[in-house]
């Protein structure tokens, strides 16, 4: 709630002593960021992973039985995985800190009867602050004086149009200013009512604090990890107890049980997934989508609902004159931005009428346009964006506003205010006679008390203005009058004017907006529009980009008030929301998540921050977006193009497909290793493989080849199929059946090679070791979407490298000593080669899109 202004003196301000007392009472005018998670807590969280826990137990058991080589290998795997996970987590959570940077670094306040400059952090409730053009409002405040005050509140409200403020305005909000907004025009004095966490920015910061929930991939992998850990522990216990029942030595059975646990646990799964996501993030960055939180890479591929902001996201984020209406016809204006690029296309209108209309708008105007600087190619506007758009339209008609102002210098003016809803300026013509130019809201100008026009013309003009407004345009009426003498005050001459016409302005959609939303629908993603702008503006844009049918009425747009009061029982039935505040945007996202949807939210303003953080994936604009939006988001679009989201979704689906492909490969190999360890003794192979040998196989198969699988190209038709069901198990849709089948084939091939070697008096354990490795490497090649594609040469290269490192385990003395292997002759290598071909054939026979 706003703090009291009692005790404030609006003439002399607070005393220095009183300001210090209030600063001590209320604290500095800043928003405190969340505490960072300490490093030890991050490491602890990594070590609590079920898969890592099993491996830590294996380290303890191997040390207990004196098997130091295996203990060293297992501990090395745990260390590498933990280091990679912690490195990816150490990212600054600075969304709340960015809020404080929005406040102006210094503020002018009245203290001890005079004006002085103080740091904005020292502003306290009751301070009288002085505001002027270009200032950032340091805190929430109540206006006591205001002259032609115009504020940009888009970062807080999403409202694309500047907001006029005045003392004693009809609505309470029109007489207040809020922290973080920008003064576009005018000056004011205001008494501070709320600072820090009690201000508008502070309340948004409170919504930013809840930490996001795990992503769909994290939830799926966590569940899989628990299952695999339980399987590993269960198998260990069963094997150990069966061995004791057969009166086997406890030490030997402990080694067998540990080996089985190592076989059951895909210990490199966390690292491989992290590296696959990192590769995806790198590819996204090349496509202008910068990932701030690594799991967001996969989350994009699972998105089912895209909630997008309007201003700056779907639209250009700047006003443009698109239509002109004159008493005798109309015209359309082309071109985007503030540059003079574009044309005025006449629809039967006399050129003189259009030029007269645009001349008046250029003269009755306080904005300025600046040509491109530093080769960036963009014109810049200073002042009211609406007035800047009017200057731009005049330039497109061939009018030089600087020359106009020189030829017709301003000699008097009556500023715009919220009660009159119009402004007028008086200019000296070359013959010395005054010329009055006026523009304003249609209801304030199309009035017989203002215009000396016949009733039928006024009625036609009102009808035209209403039609343009219904299409979502901001409409201004323009008039002029030649005077005999300079009026005093100038406002006394605002009668008997000639109607020049109407201007229709809009914040137009980006060229890619309609195509992007259509692509989303083809991919099974439902787009919805959530904005703080006017309902008519939101509806008009939704129709233009194909989000609503042209026949959709005003009822198709739901505003924030019914949402806040609970009148809208099911927000998920609506596709366009208008006049929403940060809390309501958050409610919309949460309503979809409660239905099980995977949500993405795009935006660029401070008001979008809470929803960006709460959504499964938050997407912020990188150029125009506020720092708050960028820091709260998981993904930042470097080019501010919504079309980049489609590219990022495709990349996300590619990553998810490749992770599923790796799981088939990795779990099939693990299943094969378990079958080898369980079935080996039945074929007379007492301890088929040692724990260190299994880990070496897993490092080679899951390491280089696992990373290479993450670089596989996107599957054809990836963007023509619906997203994965949010609750589908990561091994669903036939994956686990395929894992078992491939596991059986790989195990059978490896055991067959071992039995052949044993019967021939060859070093059967080394043959088994190499055959199991070869069969898995054959499987990874067989799982490719296109076997001979050149799109990812790293995969066949990694298979060759892994095969070479597997051979090194047999022929390099140091590795032989650590792993307990023996060298093989050339004839002994035939069986592992056959096992590799068996794995390749089995994977190709059951090839399918994962």
- Edge-to-edge order in the sheet of strand 474-482: 344-347, 329-333, 320-326, 498-506, 474-482, 434-440, 422-428, 410-414
H-run or E-run covering 722: none
Instruction: Name beta bridge partners: 191.
Output: 128, 142
- C-beta neighbour count of 96 within 10 angstroms: 23
Cis peptide before 489 (omega within 30 of 0): yes
Based on its alpha-carbon atoms, the radius of gyration of the chain, rounded to whole angstroms, reads 35
**Distant-in-sequence, close-in-space partners of 161: CB < 8 Å, separation ≥ 6:** 319, 385, 386, 474
* CB-count exposure of residue 555 (10 Å: 0-12, 13-18, 19+): exposed
Tokens of 536: 């008519």
Classify the C-alpha dihedral 485-488-492-497 as positive or negative.
positive
C-alpha span between 746 and 842 (Å, rounded): 9
Place of tokens 């790293």: 794
Cα 757 from Cα 831, distance rounded (Å): 8
Give the DSSP letter string of 172-219.
Answer: GGGGEE-TT-EEEEEEEEEEEEE-GGGSHHHHHHHHH-SPPPPPHHHH
Copy the structure tokens of residue 541. Answer: 């844009």
User: Three-class SS string for 346-362?
Assistant: EEECCHHHHHHHHHHHH
Q: Which residues of 628-644 are buried (b: 16+ CB within 10 A; e: fewer)?
A: bbbbbbbbbbeebbbbb
Question: Choosing from 67, 70, 152, 309, which is the catalytic residue?
Answer: 309
Q: Is 135 a catalytic residue?
A: no
- Distance separating alpha carbons of residues 670 and 677, to the nearest angstrom: 11
> Burial, 455: exposed, middle or buried (Cβ in 10 Å; 0-12, 13-18, 19+)?
exposed
Q: Answer for the pair 469, 505: CB distance below 8 angstroms, yes or no.
A: no
Rounded to an integer, what distance in angstroms lies between the CA atom of residue 774 and that of residue 752? Answer: 13
Q: Which residues is 477 bridged to in the sheet?
A: 440, 502
**CA dist list (Å): 304 to 339, 435, 615, 722, 728:** 38, 59, 12, 8, 13
Helix segments in 453-606, DSSP class H: 455-470, 513-522, 535-544, 560-565, 582-594
Closest CA to 769 of 704, 708, 707, 816: 816
Q: Which of 516, 536, 534 is nearest to 602 (CA)?
A: 516
Distance of alpha carbon 168 from alpha carbon 181, whole angstroms? 20
Helices (runs of H) and strands (runs of E) counted in the chain: 30, 25
> Is 625:271 a contact under the CB 8 Å cutoff?
no
The two structure tokens encoding residue 620? 């912020």
d(CA 271, CA 652): 18
**How far apart (Å, rounded) are the C-alpha atoms in residues 693 and 258?**
12
Cα–Cα nearest to 697, from 772, 596, 636, 753: 772
Contact in structure between 577 and 570 (CB atoms under 8 Å): no
Termini Cα distance of the chain = 53
Active site residues: 309
């Amino acid at each position: 709630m706003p703090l009291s202004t009692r005790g404030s003196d609006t003439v002399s301000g607070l005393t220095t002593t009183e300001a210090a007392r209030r600063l001590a009472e209320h604290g500095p005018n800043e928003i405190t960021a969340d505490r960072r998670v300490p490093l030890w807590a991050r490491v602890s969280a990594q070590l609590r992973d079920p898969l890592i826990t099993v491996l830590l137990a294996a380290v303890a058991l191997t040390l207990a039985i004196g098997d130091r080589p295996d203990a060293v290998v297992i501990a090395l795997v745990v260390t590498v995985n933990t280091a990679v996970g912690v490195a990816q987590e150490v990212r600054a959570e600075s969304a709340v800190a960015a809020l404080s940077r929005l406040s102006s670094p210094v503020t002018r306040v009245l203290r001890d009867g005079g004006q002085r400059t103080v740091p904005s952090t020292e502003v306290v409730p009751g301070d009288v602050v002085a505001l002027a053009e270009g200032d950032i409002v340091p805190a929430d405040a109540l206006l006591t004086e205001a002259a032609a005050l115009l504020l940009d509140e888009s970062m807080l409200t999403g409202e694309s149009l500047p907001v006029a403020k005045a003392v004693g305005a009809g609505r309470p909000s029109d007489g207040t200013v809020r922290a973080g907004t920008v003064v576009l025009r005018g000056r004011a004095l205001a008494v501070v009512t709320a600072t820090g966490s009690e201000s508008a920015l502070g309340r948004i910061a409170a919504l930013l604090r809840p930490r996001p929930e795990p992503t769909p991939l994290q939830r799926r992998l966590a569940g899989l990890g628990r299952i695999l850990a339980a399987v590993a522990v269960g198998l260990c216990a069963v094997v150990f107890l069966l061995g004791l029942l057969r009166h086997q030595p406890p030490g030997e059975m402990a080694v067998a049980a540990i080996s089985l646990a190592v076989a059951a646990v895909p210990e490199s799964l966390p690292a491989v997934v992290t590296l696959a996501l990192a590769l995806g993030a790198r590819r996204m960055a090349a496509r202008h989508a910068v990932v701030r939180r690594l799991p967001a890479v996969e989350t994009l591929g699972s998105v089912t609902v895209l909630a997008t902001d309007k201003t700056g996201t779907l639209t250009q984020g700047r006003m443009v004159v698109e239509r002109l209406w004159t008493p005798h016809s109309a015209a359309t204006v082309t071109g985007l931005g503030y540059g003079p690029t574009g044309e005025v296309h006449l629809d039967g209108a006399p050129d003189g009428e259009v030029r007269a209309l645009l001349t008046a708008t250029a003269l009755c105007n306080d904005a300025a346009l600046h040509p491109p600087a530093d080769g960036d190619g963009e014109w810049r506007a200073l002042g009211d964006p609406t007035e800047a758009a009017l200057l731009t339209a005049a330039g497109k008609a061939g009018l030089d506003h600087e020359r106009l102002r020189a030829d017709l210098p301003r000699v008097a003016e009556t500023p715009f205010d919220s009660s009159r809803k119009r402004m007028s300026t008086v200019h000296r013509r070359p013959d010395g006679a005054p010329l009055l130019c006026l523009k304003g809201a249609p209801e304030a100008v199309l009035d017989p008390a203002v215009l000396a026009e016949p009733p039928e013309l006024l009625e036609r003009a009102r009808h035209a203005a209403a039609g343009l407004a219904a299409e979502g345009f901001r409409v201004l009426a323009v008039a002029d009058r030649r005077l005999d003498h300079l009026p005093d005050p100038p406002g006394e001459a605002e009668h008997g004017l000639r109607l020049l016409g109407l201007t229709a302005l809009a914040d137009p959609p980006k060229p890619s907006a309609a195509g992007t939303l259509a692509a989303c629908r083809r991919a099974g993603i439902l787009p919805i529009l959530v904005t703080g702008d006017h309902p008519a503006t939101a509806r008009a844009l939704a129709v233009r980009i194909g989000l609503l049918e042209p026949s959709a009425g005003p009822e198709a747009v739901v505003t924030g008030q019914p949402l806040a009061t609970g009148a809208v029982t099911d927000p998920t039935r609506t596709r366009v929301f208008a006049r929403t505040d940060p809390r309501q945007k958050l409610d919309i996202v949460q309503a979809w998540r409660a239905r099980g949807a995977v949500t993405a939210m795009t935006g660029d303003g401070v008001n979008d921050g809470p929803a960006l953080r709460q959504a499964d994936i938050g997407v912020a604009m990188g150029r125009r977006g506020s720092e708050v939006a960028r820091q709260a988001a998981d993904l930042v679009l470097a080019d501010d193009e919504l079309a980049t989201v489609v590219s990022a979704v495709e990349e996300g689906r590619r990553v998810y497909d490749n992770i599923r492909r790796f799981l088939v490969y990795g779990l099939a190999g693990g299943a094969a290793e378990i079958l080898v360890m369980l079935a080996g003794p039945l074929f007379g192979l007492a301890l088929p493989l040692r724990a260190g040998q299994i880990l070496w196989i897993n490092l080679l198969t899951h390491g280089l080849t696992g990373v290479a699988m993450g670089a596989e190209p996107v599957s054809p038709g990836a963007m023509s199929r619906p997203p994965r069901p949010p609750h589908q198990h990561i091994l669903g849709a036939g994956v686990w059946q395929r894992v078992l089948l491939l596991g059986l084939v790989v195990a059978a091939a490896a055991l067959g090679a071992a039995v052949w070697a044993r019967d021939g008096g060859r070093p059967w354990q080394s043959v088994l070791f190499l055959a199991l490795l070869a069969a898995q490497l054959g499987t990874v090649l067989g799982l490719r979407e296109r076997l001979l594609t050149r799109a990812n040469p790293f995969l066949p290269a990694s298979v060759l490298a892994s095969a070479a490192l597997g051979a090194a385990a047999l022929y390099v003395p140091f590795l032989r000593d650590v792993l307990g292997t023996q060298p093989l002759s050339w004839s002994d290598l035939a069986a592992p080669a056959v096992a590799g071909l068996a794995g390749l054939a089995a994977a190709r026979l059951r090839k399918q899109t994962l």
